[in-house]
Amino acid sequence: MSKRNTQQRRHNIVALVNQQGELSVDRLAREFATSEVTIRKDLAALESAGLLLRRYGGAVPLPTELVSDDPAHKVSPFKQAIGQAAASQIRDHQRIVIDSGRTTAALIGQLGSKRGLVVMTNSLDSAEALRSLEPEPTLLMTGGTWDPHSESFQGQVAEQVLRSYDFDQLFIGADGIDVARGTTTFNELLGLSRVMAEVSREVNVMVEADKIGRRIPNLELPWDRVTRLITDDRVDDSVVKQIESHGVQVICAVVQH
């Protein structure tokens, strides 16, 4: 089924649930002449987007008090643009790693047109979003020890699992960019990020431009481990040239304001 048809069906599901109240998966499957598996994926994606709430066996409209324009629940236009630019680097049938984080998560919604992907992640939220894609990629989880700070799995078990595979591309965020040295982070758990880079042929760092130049003590990935930096069009040309001097490709996504 085409991406356009999927989007149209999901739009119609939201309209129907808002109009009629609670509806079962079975009723929605009959209404839209599709399988219950597909409807469950639709509901997972719509709940993740904050458009309805899943209930056992179906879905209900969002309570009125939850329907707001709270920007904390929206993906910024900068993250959206970066996510689209990152997705353009992915080809069908590639094996990729998506690290935890809100900027890397913006990539997932852009993967619906890709075929035959194998995706590893250490994030439960990302895993749930990946399960809602159609077609659904082959999903791999790192396992490991849950770290509440980064809301992701970390540790030696996760590193061992990653080393059992090889990947075409890694998509990873950063707390800051040191123009001279590389990516930086507040998190002292650096091991998994470095293993992700180690097992990937290409390393894509996804950050909003306002993180470039932030001084943070922990160096995560030096520039010689990074293939490209994907950021937004607020970054200065002089900074782009400095980063490119380290052999890193810089993509500045155009933001639709």
Residue 95: pLDDT over 90: yes
**SS3 state at 254:** coil
Average pLDDT, the chain: 90
Residue 156's pLDDT band (boundaries 50, 70, 90)?
Answer: very high
- Of all residues in the chain, what percent carry a pLDDT higher than 70? 93
Residue 71's pLDDT band (boundaries 50, 70, 90)?
Answer: very low
**SS3 state at 177:** strand
Render pLDDT for 121-148 as a digit per residue (tens, 0 to 9). 999 989 988 988 878 899 999 999 998 8
Angle between helices 36-48 and 3-20 in degrees, nearest 10: 80
Task: Give the pLDDT score at 208.
Answer: 96
Between 3.40.50.300, 3.20.20.60, 3.40.50.10380, 3.40.50.1360, what CATH number should domain 74-253 receive? 3.40.50.1360
Does residue 148 or residue 88 have the better pLDDT? 88
Indicate the pTM of the whole model: 0.78
Q: Which two tokens stand for residue 94?
A: 């590639």
Task: Give the pLDDT score at 79.
Answer: 93
Residue 63: pLDDT over 90: no
Residue 48: pLDDT over 80: no
Q: Which amino acid is at 206?
A: M
Q: Which amino acid is at 105?
A: A
Between 1.10.10.10, 3.40.640.10, 3.40.30.10, 1.20.140.10, what CATH number should domain 3-66 receive? 1.10.10.10
- Of all residues in the chain, what percent carry a pLDDT higher than 90? 70
Domain ranges within the chain, ordered by starting residue: 3-66, 74-253
Task: Give the pLDDT score at 73.
Answer: 46
Half-sphere exposure of 100 (CA within 13 A, CB side): 20
